[in-house]
Amino acid sequence: MYGITLAVTACLRSGTRADVSWLVEAEGLPVADWSDAMLLTPGGGRIGSLAGGAIDGKLTDLAGRWNAGRLVDIEVTEVDALIAGLPSAGSARCLLVPADELPGDLWDLTAARESVCLVFQMEGDQVVETSLYTAVMIGEAGEAVNQLFATGSSGSAIIDDQVITVFRPVPQLVVIGDTPVAHALTELAALVGWRTRVIADSASATGVIATLSKLDKVVVTAHDLDLAGAALMAALDSDAGYIGSLGARRMQENRADWLAYRGVTDLTRVHGPAGIDIGAETAAEIAVSILAEAIAASVADRAGAVE
């Protein structure tokens, strides 16, 4: 859901019809992240993908048919699976809801990368009422809702005449520079459930970094001064919860000079050189030290928020 928030908001502001769909159940189909969702617009436009792309076309055909949300069942045949590059057939159950029928606060919350829970009251396959809960409000919901929210991950459940969906954001790690350390970070970050993007050009880097929240991390590994400097400038102007700058002291000084020349002098948020001092030498060891420091920063930030 978090990946389509800006596009949905743009559609709502312009009065463009938009439908939002996400997986509630899936059998035999790949699910990369249960918080994934698709935005569907008239004429076949879509942003996002579900179940390895196997159901995208069928959801596109269904979009715009109803003015209320629907729970839809989609079968993926062997032929469908072959076209999508999947190993076998399967089935999916999805909610397909007009964006303007979802609670308005949802988009502000997902833009801020907050965890949310939606509870849909159903009559048959049709949504008749929708309730939104945040982490602060979740105690007001029923026991089943609280149990699903307490799992700490995204997911859905169908219980009697309700469909309950929890969306929790996945931390993003943006690594600047295509380096051995960047590749090691990508592998290690996957083990703790983070999504990693390795970016090697300043235009893409600044655009991606600008959308980050306190949940997210930026690590600059690039040797190119202009790329590293632009990424650090963007990171300092963002809400990123951890900013790491890899490199020896001389490289840190060069980056600081680059930033200072452009009016950026407060580098207190930058961890440089990035990583906990464990005597790391190889790319993998350096990646471990950076990941540990980023995790520690996140824990400290959560503790501060609680206080």
Q: Give the pair of three-digit tokens for residue 64.
A: 């715009």
> Can you tell me the distance from the alpha carbon of 232 to that of 229, in angstroms, rounded to the nearest whole number?
5
Angle of helix 202-209 relative to helix 225-236, nearest 10 degrees?
10
pLDDT on residue 306: 44
Tell me: do 157 and 268 sit in the same domain: no
Tell me: do 277 and 155 sit in the same domain: no
Tell me: do 185 and 148 sit in the same domain: no
CA-based radius of gyration for the chain: 22
Tell me: do 155 and 259 sit in the same domain: no
Tell me: do 136 and 193 sit in the same domain: no
β-partners of residue 41 are 45
> What's the pTM?
0.77
Final residue before a domain boundary, out of 167, 196, 212: 167
pLDDT on residue 113: 86
In which residue are the tokens 């312009």 written?
14
3-class state of residue 293 by DSSP: helix
pLDDT on residue 155: 95
Final residue before a domain boundary, out of 167, 201, 229: 167
Q: CB under 8 Å to 279, separation ≥6 — which residues?
A: 285
Tell me: do 189 and 88 sit in the same domain: no
pLDDT on residue 106: 96
| Alpha carbon 244 to chain centroid, angstroms | 20
> Quick one: the chain helix, strand, coil %, rounded to 5?
40, 25, 35
pLDDT on residue 302: 62
What total number of domains does the chain contain? 2
Tell me: do 192 and 133 sit in the same domain: no
Q: Which domain holds residue 232?
A: 172-306
Tell me: do 181 and 250 sit in the same domain: yes
Which residues of the chain, if any, have pLDDT below 70? 301-307
Q: What torsion, rounded to 10 degrees, do the Cα atoms 130, 134, 139, 142 define?
A: 30
Final residue before a domain boundary, out of 167, 197, 231: 167
Tell me: do 104 and 181 sit in the same domain: no
Tell me: do 160 and 197 sit in the same domain: no
Tell me: do 8 and 117 sit in the same domain: yes
